[in-house]
Structure 1
Amino acid sequence: MMIYDLVSQINGVLWGAILVYALIAVGVWFTVRLGFLQLRHFGHMFSLLKNSRSANQAGISSFQALCMSLSARVGTGNLAGVAIAISLGGPGAIFWMWMIALLGMATGFAESLLAQVYKVRDANNEFRGGPAYYIKQGLNNPWLAGLFSCFVLFGYGFVFSATQANTIADALNHSYAIPVVYTALALTVLAAVIVVGGLRSIARFSELVVPVMGAIFVLMALGICIANWSAIPDLFWQIVSSAFGWQEAGAGTFAAALKNGIQRGLYSNEAGAGSVPQAAAAAAPTPNHPASQGYVQMLGVFFDTLVICTCTAFVILLANGSLSGEMEGIRMTQRAMTTHIGPLGGHFVALAICLFGFTSIVGNYAYAESNLHFFKLDTQWGRHGFTMVFLAMMFIGCNVQLRQVWATADMAFGLMAVINVVALVLLTRTVLSVTRDYQRQRLAGGKPEFQAAKCPVQGRTETDIW
């Protein structure tokens, strides 16, 4: 319990005094500096998907990078995390999840753009990048870059997949009384089959599974909303009124809704945490310009929170799920779905959490693995050693308590986000310069093509890429 107490204290500082304000501030900062780009160019995000499936030997396609980022995003945060937010913060937590997603779209654009600008080639001549690389090259701060990479390896290599595995094991145990150890073994073997193939294997898996998985879940939620259509207006009022404390609990309701909505929303869409840039950097974008991948990755925040999380929230709230003061996870979602469609609901959520959680596990591996190059560990033995530790931690994660797992995940996420937020603000000039270059070429009627020599950026870029 001493370790858990220490983690709780760190989270109290991170989430109580730093991160909530910092991530909101950076979202507002880029929303304003980019001229509300996520709203003005909302349609352009979707238009880029039409030509996003092309790739080359150095990089995966933009669509694969989007699916990979969604595979890591769309997981327990969308099913269990939403339930946790509602159980601790009430319906109003959903409103603040929406707000942080809208702001987070601008943050996601900025960090994905920077990941492309400062990406490098690894030992296999494939693209790698992320905050560690734009901190090192853009800010010329290798020690801070190394610290960030350590947090990524700790969070995505050891902790976050444990939360996914823990929730999968709990859901299967609750629905089918399957012993946790059996689930742990099955997950470990299945993950090993995919991740040993490396980044491209994970990208192909994500491209095939994530769109189908998301579509089925959204269609199921839409069916439930249509069946309860008359209750939807009252549901929206319940969300808004609870968000601002216009209820009996007053300020207490507002504070709980704000904290849990933002915390769980950020954990779900990951905007500003510095995780998604790992996937964004791996792409060979179409058009071949860093901003185009920024636009595509903005869609990830939109789909994750404003679509998937909203679907989960409506399913729970339409089944009268509400604030209880006690942390509830996937079982609240299972009970809600069972209320709507009978025993089939529990089976559906169990299957969904298995797919959502498993895709997150392999996506997390890709994020962590991309940072091996930073420490010159992208060798055969380096990858094998990392893979063994990753799989071992996932197995262990199935057998620990929910509160301890989520608290550790919050700490790892928070430490990453603090560094990334500072780097993003310091690299604002590059974000604005590259964005204007893209928009200038687009308005001129041409196909944007990035040339580092003609677009001023901070620090340096790799000469053999741009």
Structure 2
Amino acid sequence: MLGVLNDLLWNHVLTIVLVAIGLAFTVASRFVQFRYFGRMFGTLVEAFRRQPGHLSSFQALMLSVAGRVGAGNIAGVAVAIGLGGPGAVFWMWIIGLIGMATSFFECALAQLFKIAEPDGTYRGGPAYYIERGLKMRWLAVLFSVLLLVTFGFSFTALQSYTTATSVADAFGVPPLVTGIVLVAVVGLIVFGGVRRIAEVADIVVPVMAVGYIAMTLVVIVMNAGAVPGVLALIVKSAFGLEPAVGGTMGAAITLGVRRGLFSNEAGLGSAPNVAAVAYVKHPGAQGVVQALSVFIDTLVICSCTAFIILLSDVYQPGSDLKGVALTQAALAGVVGEWGRSFVSVALMLFAFTSIIYNYYLGENSLNFFSNENRTLFTVYRVLTLILVMWGSQQDLSTVFAFADLTMGLLALVNLAALAMLFRVGMRILRDYDRQVAAGITAPVFDAAHFADLDLDRQAWIIEQDPPAAAKGGQASPAGR
């Protein structure tokens, strides 16, 4: 039954809706992901400048990359190539480029409707822009429940399972030992709150991403002559012109879109929960940064796995090697047997950062219902650790199928909300465009221009002078 529902949802509904909305946002925004591509890196430099007492935009970016870059980037890409052929990579790229526009809108909206917390942090996400922007609390509640079940529970166990099995295969460490270590480390992080989660992601994510990219560059240099042929193979296979390499055009599109969304999460409604926690001067700035996050995940990290596999002699259509085993065998075939261990370590880091990201999404879901009940959050943290241990010991194929279903429903709810808030998203973009066109390096949001919306004014106090703001708590005129 789960298989039938997933096929219906992913093959016939979500593929169409996701691409249609992404294309609509891309065209209406005049290709915002390309217009501001260079600015993404400039905004990233600005994001390093941290406002005392707040999480920076760079920290939010690292936390979102921690979530987007997970087992799907290693195992998911390998599965897509194994079942859909090399052409699936092309459609991953397309969904990634389209998804950059979708991510801009959903993350900018999350920033717009965020709420301020007493400790200087923020909370926000689709549940908040659904409730405040659409006045549809029942839909916001449904989204929060689906987010909690999908990420807070199912994906936490799945990432633990992925980590434990990979470490066992590479190093012979019993899953029980891996589970205990994971519980200890994750426990230290999640009981420290969002600040500690962001601090850990701030360090681990750049290390794991740069390391994986560096390894791929080694593979590319060692097989430089084969790169043009691999690129041609990917494009031809995407349109069914290379049937000998396995997978039909339909399978390539379906697997590419499905694994692409699973990996970069654009339109899914998960990343906006993280995008909302940052202190930025304009919602559009965070939209630009989070669009870069999709690019890093799909166009960079997923491509790394694809090139590692396709530049090796290991990949053969119909082979029994699939998932992580295919990626490990491919890298080992190029650099030697130690490549298997490298993939396992990379997967362990990717899955570990995804676990703490999943935890935060679950916490944000609970926070939507109540941020006063500390006992509830303690119970959730303990339950997260139990799921980490349980997941490391189980075969979770059924859980994965269930998570695919709830993730699909989560995406539908968020995409519907984004469509209904399309005009608001365009207002954010036009305000950002106007200031950029006027030569303003760092556009500043003026909440007075959005007085018709239910915004938390406290969340939009722009602290031009941190010491003065800390003493008086007053906003600059632009912040009102």
| TM-score of the two chains, using structure 1 as the length reference | 0.94
Q: CA deviation at 1:188?
A: 1.4
Partner residue of 1:443 out of 407, 431, 437? 437
Q: Which residue of 2 aligns with 1:314?
A: 307
Question: Match for 2:176: what amino acid?
Answer: V
Quote the Cα distance in structure 2 between the aligned partners of 1:202 and 1:103: 29
1:429 matched to 2:423? yes
Cα deviation digits, residues 281-324 of structure 1 (max 9, x gap): 00001xx0000000000110000010011011100111132443
Write out aligned runs for 1:67-146 (5 A): 67-122=62-117, 124-146=119-141
Q: What's the counterpart of residue 247 of structure 1?
A: 242
Gaps of 5+ in 2: 461-480
Which residue identity does 1:85 align to in structure 2?
A
1:202 corresponding residue in structure 2: 197
Check if 1:376 corresponds to 2:370: yes
Instruction: Give the Cα separation in 1 of the matches to 2:180 and 2:262.
Output: 26
Deviation at 1:57, TM superposition (A): 5.9
Question: Contact 2:85 / 2:246 at 8 angstroms: preserved in 1?
Answer: no
- Comparing 104-113 with 363-372, which one deviates more in the overlay? 363-372
Is the 1:167–1:330 contact (alpha carbons within 8 Å) kept by the matching residues of 2? no
For the 8 Å contact 1:105–1:271, the answer to whether it is kept is: yes
Contact 2:115 2:459 in 1 (8 A): yes
Q: How does 1:224-373 map to 2 (within 5 A)?
A: 224-248=219-243, 253-285=248-280, 288-320=281-313, 321-324=315-318, 328-373=322-367
State which drifts further: 31-40 or 395-404.
Answer: 395-404
Q: Secondary structure at the match of 2:459?
A: coil
User: Is 2:369 the counterpart of 1:401?
Assistant: no
For residues 123 and 78 of structure 1, the distance between their equivalents in structure 2, rounded to whole angstroms, comes to 37
Partner Cα distance (2:109, 2:142) in 1: 18
Q: Is 1:386 aligned to 2:380, yes or no?
A: yes
| Identity over aligned pairs, percent | 43
CA deviation profile, 1:108-161 (whole Å, cap 9, x unmatched): 000000000000124645200000000000000000000000011111110112
Contact kept? 1:61, 1:283, Cα under 8 Å = yes
Code of the aligned partner of 1:334: Q
Deviations 1:150-182 (A, max 9, x none): 011111110112221111111111112222222
Does the 8 Å CA contact 1:241/1:247 hold for their aligned counterparts?
yes
Q: Offset at 1:465? A: 2.0
Q: How far off its partner does 1:400 sit?
A: 2.7
Residue pair 2:201, 2:353 contacting (<8 A) in 1 also: yes
Cα deviation per residue 1:37-95 (whole Å; 9 max; x = unaligned)? Answer: 11111101111111102344663100000000001111101111111111111111100
Is 1:149 the counterpart of 2:136? The answer is: no
Farther-moved stretch of structure 1 (91-100 vs 366-375) = 366-375
Structure-2 change in CA distance of 1:76 and 1:378 (3 Å): farther
Opposite residue 314 of structure 1, the aligned amino acid is F
Q: Which residue pairs with 2:473 in the alignment?
A: none
Counterpart contact for 1:245–1:251, Cα < 8 Å: no
Matches within 5 A, 1:162-201: 162-201=157-196
- Indicate which of 393, 403, 413 corresponds to 1:419: 413
Number of matched pairs: 458
Q: Hey, what's the Cα distance between the residues in 1 that align with 2:179 and 2:245? A: 43
Report the secondary structure of 2:365's partner residue.
coil
Structure 1: runs of 5+ lacking an equivalent: 1-5
| Deviation of the 1:452 alpha carbon | 2.1
Alpha carbon RMSD of aligned pairs, Å? 1.8
Contact 1:334 1:345 survives alignment (8 Å): yes
Q: 1:8 Cα deviation (Å)?
A: 2.0
Measure the CA separation in 2 of the matches of 1:142 and 1:125.
25
The Cα of 1:377 is off from its aligned counterpart by 4.4
Structure 2 counterpart of 1:371, one-letter code? S
CA contact (8 A) 2:84 2:246 kept: no
Please give the secondary structure, in 1, of the residue aligned with 2:393: coil
SS in 1 for 2:63: helix
Q: Distance in 1 between matches of 2:369 and 2:438?
A: 42
CA distance in 2, matches of 1:79, 1:33: 33
Distance 1:175 1:23, change over 3 A: same
CA distance in 2, matches of 1:356, 1:370: 21
**Alignment partner, residue 3 of structure 1:** none
TM-score, reference length from structure 2: 0.92
